């Protein structure tokens, strides 16, 4: 006959000691993990300077992953930014920042031409009259600046997709990005293609139904309601298309490349 070994039940004190041991063990392991994780991150290489502004590589990887996830879940070409009646638009439109439009010599609108650079090197030259001959699209929306202000404003111009249609640039919109620059190339933005071909993106030549003033980006500026003000480039000189991220003035200084709303 074998004698069954009976396990003695633990006393309350023993149970508490055991739990303490387990929880301190877990806590300690987590703390060690944090220290090593931090060291790993701290010593990880910095991304190559260029398009974005010097973050640790693993952090940038995480940022890019969240960007993709957000775009997938929250962004859709059918999602429209809220619009308002014209009566709600500001009569005096706020003016902010003038990189690439602060002229030493007065800027000559009459000789301005929009240069459209295709990926194969072809260049189209488009005049303001050419653009005004295309169907006009108007929008009243809440313009938002990353500095913390916003304003309902009323813009008019050519819908970017109408421009693509008219100049038969469909092959270019198969690429991933659009780049835009001021004529002097000192302010420049990169736009992901889904945002560029969003139905509310326009090449604007009017504000409050009047030609743009120089301060607001005459003769032509980008109005892209799905993005913060920084991407709404004033005085477009060059538009180009590419599969790699075009340089972006504020992204180079550490702002989010996407800068979407
Ligand atoms: N060329 C150029 N475009 C620009 C800027 C700039 O400095 N230069 N600033 C941007 C920023 S930060 C904002 S908020 C808007 C402001 O446009 P507004 O002056 O017409 O209000 O323009 C954007 N486009
Ligand atoms: Mo801004």
151-210 per-position pLDDT tens digit: 999 999 999 999 999 999 999 999 999 999 999 999 999 999 999 999 999 999 999 999
Residues 115-128: tens digit of each pLDDT: 999 999 999 999 99
Residues in the chain: 261
Neighbours of ion ligand 2 (CB under 5 A): 145, 229-230
212 Cβ neighbours under 8 A, 6+ residues apart: 204, 205, 206, 218, 219, 220, 221
Strand partners, 150: 144
Report the distance separating Cα 193 and Cα 175, nearest Å: 7
| Minimum CA distance residue for ligand 1 atom 1 | 234
Q: Give the model's pLDDT for residue 41.
A: 80
Choose one of 147, 149, 232 to mutate for the ligand 1 pocket test, by most ligand atoms within 8 angstroms of C-beta: 232
Q: Whose CA is nearest to atom 8 of ligand 1?
A: 99
pTM over 0.85: no
The alpha carbon of 142 and the centre of ligand 2 are apart by a number of angstroms equal to: 13
The pLDDT of 20-42, averaged and rounded, is 77
Q: Give the highest mean pLDDT range of 34-43, 50-59, 212-221.
A: 212-221
Listed ranges 15-29, 58-72, 124-138; the one with the highest mean pLDDT: 124-138
Minimum mean pLDDT among 11-25, 61-75, 128-142: which range? 61-75
Q: Which atom belonging to ligand 1 lies closest to the Cα atom of 151?
A: 21
Reply yes or no on whether the pLDDT at 2 is more than 90.
no
CB distance 255 to ligand 1 below 6 Å:
no
Phi, psi dihedrals of residue 205, rounded to the nearest 5°: -125, 0
Mean of pLDDT over the chain: 90
d(CA 223, CA 201): 6
Ligand nearest to the backbone CA of 182:
1
CA of residue 235 to ligand 2 center, whole Å:
15
Q: State if residue 95 touches ligand 1 by the CB under 6 angstroms criterion.
A: yes
Mean pLDDT computed over 237-249: 98
In the beta sheet, which residues pair with residue 243? none
Least confident range from 100-109, 156-165, 217-226: namely 100-109
Q: Does the beta carbon of 237 sit less than 6 angstroms from any atom of ligand 1?
A: no
Average pLDDT over residues 134-142: 98
For residue 5, what pLDDT band results from cuts at 50, 70 and 90?
low
Residue with tokens 């929009």: 114
Identify the helix (H) or strand (E) that includes residue 114.
Answer: strand 114-117
Cβ atoms 167, 116 nearer than 8 A: yes
> Phi/psi zone of residue 18: left (φ > 0), alpha (ψ -120 to 50 degrees), beta?
alpha
Q: Give residue 54's pLDDT.
A: 77
User: If you take atom 11 of ligand 1, which residue's CA is the nearest one?
Assistant: 230
pLDDT at 83 over 60: yes
Residue 7: both structure tokens together: 């396990």
CA of 230 to the centre of ligand 1 (A): 6
pLDDT at residue 49 in the model: 64
């Amino acid at each position: 006959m074998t004698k069954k070994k009976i396990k003695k039940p633990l006393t309350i004190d023993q149970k508490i000691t055991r739990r303490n041991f387990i929880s301190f063990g877990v806590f300690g392991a987590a703390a060690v993990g944090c220290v090593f994780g931090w060291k790993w991150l701290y010593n990880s290489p910095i991304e190559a300077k260029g398009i974005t502004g010097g973050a640790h590589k693993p952090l940038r990887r995480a940022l890019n992953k969240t960007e993709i996830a957000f775009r997938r879940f929250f962004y859709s070409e059918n999602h429209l930014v809220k619009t308002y009646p014209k009566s709600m638009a500001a009569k005096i439109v706020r003016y902010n920042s003038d990189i690439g439009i602060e002229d030493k010599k007065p800027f000559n609108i009459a000789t301005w031409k929009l240069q459209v650079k295709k990926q194969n090197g072809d260049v189209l030259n488009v005049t303001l009259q050419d653009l005004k001959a295309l169907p006009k699209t108007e929008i009243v929306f809440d313009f938002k600046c990353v500095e913390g202000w916003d304003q309902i404003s009323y813009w008019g111009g050519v819908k970017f997709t109408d421009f693509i249609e008219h100049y038969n640039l469909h092959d270019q919109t198969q690429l991933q990005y659009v780049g835009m620059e001021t004529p002097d190339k000192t302010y420049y933005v990169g736009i992901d293609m889904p945002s560029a071909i969003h139905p509310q993106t326009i090449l604007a030549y009017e504000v409050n139904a009047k030609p743009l003033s120089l301060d607001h980006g005459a003769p032509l500026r980008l109005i892209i309601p799905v993005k913060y003000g920084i991407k709404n480039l004033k005085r477009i000189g060059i538009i180009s298309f590419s599969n790699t991220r075009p340089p972006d003035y504020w992204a180079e200084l550490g702002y989010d490349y996407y800068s979407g709303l």
